[in-house]
């Protein structure tokens, strides 16, 4: 009788309360509740699906985060599916290590509305805000497919993340300019991928350690000096505007940020057009003396030229790992003069351990580059290339660097 009475009391709870209970469960456990009875069959799904408007997105996400903040002992990885507007869906995932993913999943418009974005990250007075209901322990934020209609929603949300350290912006169609302002040196990792209309990036932060960018080259203005340890400048799509090439000095502030980098991804055209003109007067003294790993994105041409890469290698005395990928779609400027005719530096590479070549269409181009590299080294690096067999060298697989998939 006691069991039946207990079941009756539990069964009398309204669906809203049951959904609240399910929302505290891990995803796998929440799904298992669908086997309890017919009534429970769809409750696990209702607990993570809500209806909203564009204006109400900020409030809905705020309530979602409040329920699972760090002070909650039942905090689990959870996902919210928010339906708003006409056939639009927002997916919010709160994962381990204080990571929040916000994917607007908006259908790409043929002619998107352009918009500017100013993200103010206020880390001051964080200790005083620990008990504030509008402060969340979000250290890593992924923003995907943010559009014109939702730009203000995101700006409002970001202003509440007082502990944010890592920011990733992905596939934001129509985004034309971004200003990221951190009032306290907290943001350390910034990634921007595949935002096709971005032309201007203004960074008002002083402690950035990792900057990873893939897309057309925007004008990059770092207002404060910072030393990057990991820099990915994947500009194989070319410049966002023509005047970026005509005014090469605009790239100088960004160049200074990678002087002490340990890992760099760079396109050949970027070095030839924007970096080498600034470095040539300083060629005898300037070095990337901490660079250990280089990802070089080259372009294919009828007569492959190794001069740009060799000139860059002469600036990297501590280099240990070199990865060269030829992308036939990469941007290039055929009118450039040959760098080697101006280069006089004779730096030797005494630490190079691994060289990996990919994408070469002509085997003779691989062989030529390998020979040129071997002229610069004082050691015998492991060389991984299709043509290496012709040089009577044994080729084996090298360990994949930590960011190989993203870089190339």
- Name the residue with tokens 């600034």: 278
Same domain? For 105 and 68 the reply is yes
Q: Where a domain ends, among 174, 208, 242?
A: 208
Beta-carbon count within 10 A of 337 CB: 9
Strand blocks (E) in 27-174: 49-52, 78-84, 88-95, 99-103, 115-121, 140-144, 166-170
The C-alpha atoms of residue 400 and residue 212 are separated, in whole angstroms, by 18
Same domain? For 38 and 55 the reply is no
Same domain? For 284 and 381 the reply is yes
Same domain? For 63 and 198 the reply is yes
Strands 175-182 and 200-204: what pairing?
parallel
Same domain? For 57 and 42 the reply is no
Same domain? For 333 and 280 the reply is yes
pTM of the model: 0.82
Question: What are 218-273's pLDDT values in tens digits?
Answer: 999 999 888 999 999 999 999 998 877 767 778 889 999 999 999 999 999 999 99
Question: What are 386-408's pLDDT values in tens digits?
Answer: 765 555 444 444 444 444 444 43
- In this structure, the dihedral spanned by the alpha carbons of residues 393, 397, 399 and 404, taken in order and rounded to 10 degrees, is 110
What local confidence, expressed as pLDDT, does residue 157 receive?
A: 85
Q: How many domains does the chain have?
A: 3
List the one residue out of 126, 106, 122 whose CA is nearest residue 155.
122
The C-alpha atoms of residue 362 and residue 360 are separated, in whole angstroms, by 6
Which residue range is the domain that position 245 belongs to?
226-408
Same domain? For 116 and 135 the reply is yes
Same domain? For 376 and 253 the reply is yes
Question: What are 308-350's pLDDT values in tens digits?
Answer: 999 999 999 999 999 999 999 999 877 555 575 555 566 789 9
The C-alpha atoms of residue 286 and residue 263 are separated, in whole angstroms, by 17
Q: In what order do the strands lie in the sheet with 175-182?
A: 115-121, 175-182, 200-204, 219-222
In a domain, 5, yes or no: no
Q: Which one is predicted more confidently, 406 or 123?
A: 123
Return the SS3 of 327: coil
Token representation of residue 169: 């912006």
In a domain, 191, yes or no: yes
What local confidence, expressed as pLDDT, does residue 184 receive?
A: 64
């Amino acid at each position: 009788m006691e069991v039946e009475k207990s079941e009756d009391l539990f069964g009398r709870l309204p669906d809203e309360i049951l959904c609240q209970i399910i929302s505290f469960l891990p995803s796998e456990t929440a799904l298992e509740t669908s086997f309890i009875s017919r009534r429970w069959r769809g409750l696990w799904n209702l607990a993570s699906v809500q209806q909203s408007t564009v204006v109400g997105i900020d409030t809905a996400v705020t309530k979602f985060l409040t329920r699972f903040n760090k002070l909650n002992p039942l905090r689990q990885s959870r996902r919210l599916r928010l339906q708003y507007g006409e056939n639009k869906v927002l997916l919010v995932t709160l994962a381990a290590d204080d990571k929040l993913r916000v994917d607007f999943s908006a259908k790409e418009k043929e002619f998107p509305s352009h918009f500017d974005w100013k993200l103010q990250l206020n880390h001051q007075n964080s200790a005083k805000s620990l008990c504030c209901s509008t402060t969340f322990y979000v250290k890593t934020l992924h923003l995907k497919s943010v559009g014109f209609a939702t730009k203000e929603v995101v700006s409002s949300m970001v202003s509440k993340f007082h502990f944010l350290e890592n920011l990733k912006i992905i596939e934001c169609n129509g985004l034309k300019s971004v200003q990221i302002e951190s009032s306290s040196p907290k943001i350390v990792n910034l990634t921007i991928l595949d935002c096709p209309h971005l032309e201007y990036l203004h960074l008002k932060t002083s402690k950035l350690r990792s900057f990873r960018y893939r897309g057309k080259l925007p004008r990059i203005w770092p207002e404060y000096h910072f030393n990057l340890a990991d820099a990915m400048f994947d500009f194989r799509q070319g410049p966002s505007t023509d005047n970026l090439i005509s005014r090469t000095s605009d790239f100088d502030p960004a160049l200074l940020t990678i002087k002490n980098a340990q890992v760099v991804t760079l396109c050949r055209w970027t070095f030839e057009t924007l970096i080498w003109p600034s470095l040539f007067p300083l060629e005898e003294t300037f070095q990337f003396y901490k660079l250990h790993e280089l990802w070089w994105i080259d372009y294919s041409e009828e007569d492959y030229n190794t001069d740009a890469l060799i000139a860059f290698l002469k600036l990297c005395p501590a280099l240990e790992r070199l990865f060269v990928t030829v992308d036939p779609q990469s941007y290039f400027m055929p009118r450039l003069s040959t760098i080697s005719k101006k280069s006089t530096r004779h730096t030797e590479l005494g630490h190079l351990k691994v060289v990996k070549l990919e994408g070469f269409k002509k085997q003779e181009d691989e062989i030529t580059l390998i020979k040129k590299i071997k002229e610069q080294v004082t050691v015998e690096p492991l060389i991984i290339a299709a043509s290496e067999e012709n040089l009577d060298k044994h080729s084996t697989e090298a360990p994949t660097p930590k960011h190989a998939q993203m870089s190339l």
